[in-house]
Structure formats: structure tokens, C-alpha cells
Structure 1
Amino acid sequence: MNKNEAIQRVQAVWDKSPAASLCVAIVDQLAEGVLQRLTFGQLYGLASKSDASQEDIARALQYLTGHDLHLLDTEFEFIDENDETFYFGMQDLSDAQHEGGLYHPESGELIDNYEERVFPTFVPSSLAKEISAK
């Protein structure tokens, strides 16, 4: 898939709505290879340029992490007391919920209140990497 095909898919679903504009902005960044990780701060910055509401942001994320145009994978970010950043996958958080805790990847210590200290981020999927390689 190339950038134009991705944009056509977005517009076939969302037409010229703010959610489509937000998706296209993300596709553009993915195609340019500048987007290595998408945080909510970056997402809100892109959303403000396309007049996207919180509902539009949710729709765009659902679409870009879904099966139809899976351009983003979800990861979770944790910043410890030394300002070091660590990333966890969905399975890590699922395991933490079942086991009752999340452990620091280096120290092995239980992370207090991890639910309040771990935030979602989004990384390019394998499909997105195809787009940026073209």
C-alpha cells in the first residue's frame, strides 16, 4: 500500500470530515517517516489543525488501529522517577491486570499505582512501515 491508497481508503470511509483530515495528517507523517511514536499531545496538536473534536480523535484512533487500515499499534509508556521512559505492550498490561501489578522492567520493583502512571501511545504498524518505505 502507498500513501495515496491509504488516503483514498480514509476518504472513502470519512469523506472530508475532521476525522478524515486527522487521519490524513497522520498518514502524511507516517509516509514521510517522521512519526516514530504518536502521543496524545501530538495527536491533540494535529487535531487542532483539522478542527477535530475529541469524538473525531477517538474515531480516527479506532480506525487507524483497527483492521481496515491498521496503521498504528498501541503501546503504553511509563516514565519512572529518574525520567527514564519504558514501553509496554497490550499483553504486558493485560498480564498486570490479572496478576495485580506491573513491575519495573529494570529494577523488577512493583510500580505503585501503575494505572495512573502508564499512558497509551501509538507506533507505526508493519503496514505503516510499508507506506513510509515507498
Structure 2
Amino acid sequence: MKMIILLGLGLALLTVMWSRMGQAAEVPQVGQLAPDFALPDQSGKLQKLADFRGKWLVLYFYPKDETPHCTTEACQFRDDIFKIRALGAEVIGVSVDNTESHAEFARKHGLPFPLLADRNGLVAARYGSNY
């Protein structure tokens, strides 16, 4: 019985390791094209990676609107937006929250950049983010 349990645990561990190795292979590397996306922002406008072609883009992923760390991070981007734009870059936040949640979060904290709703987390996964 112990042998079967250990064998089962070993197979489960190999499966997890194999799936993570497969995910890591899909994460974009320096010099590769960024994975394309088309997601709605807090106002319902569809934002596409192609819309930012020829510009620098700060694309950040976060777990959830209104959590302490995520709010601090978003507000830091807000506070530095003029410096970021002076460097020729734009900022976009991405999480699995819906557009309504993003609209409230952006309004409450005066966020001057799009927050994209990646409801199924597929875009985050393509970029190697756990969020």
C-alpha cells in the first residue's frame, strides 16, 4: 500500500514538474515578440497590443483590485505617470477582475491608464504571470 501511495505521489510530482516546464517554455524571452492580446479595459474599450506598436509599454499583471499591494503598485504607477510618459512609455495593468471592478478601482484611485480584464487568465499565462 505504501508503495502505491509513493508511486502515486511521484507521478503527481512529475506531472506538476512537466506542466511547469511546458509553461516556462512558452514564456516570452528577451528579444522575442510579446504575445498578442485584445482585452477590454475599464470603460469597455478593446485594447490590443498592436495599438501600442512603436511605443514602449509597461504591461503589469496583478492579482486583484483593492488588495493592499496591488493598490500600492497601481498608485505608484499613477504617481510616476508623467515620468513614464516622458520616457515615451505607456502603462497598462492586467488582472482577472471584471471591467466594472476595474472601473471602480481606477475611479477611486485616479488611475490614468487602462486596466484590462483578463477574465480567464489566458493572457497572464502567455506572459508567464501567475495572476
User: TM-score if structure 2 supplies the norm length?
Assistant: 0.30
| Larger helix percent | 1
User: TM-score if structure 1 supplies the norm length?
Assistant: 0.30
Larger Rg: 2
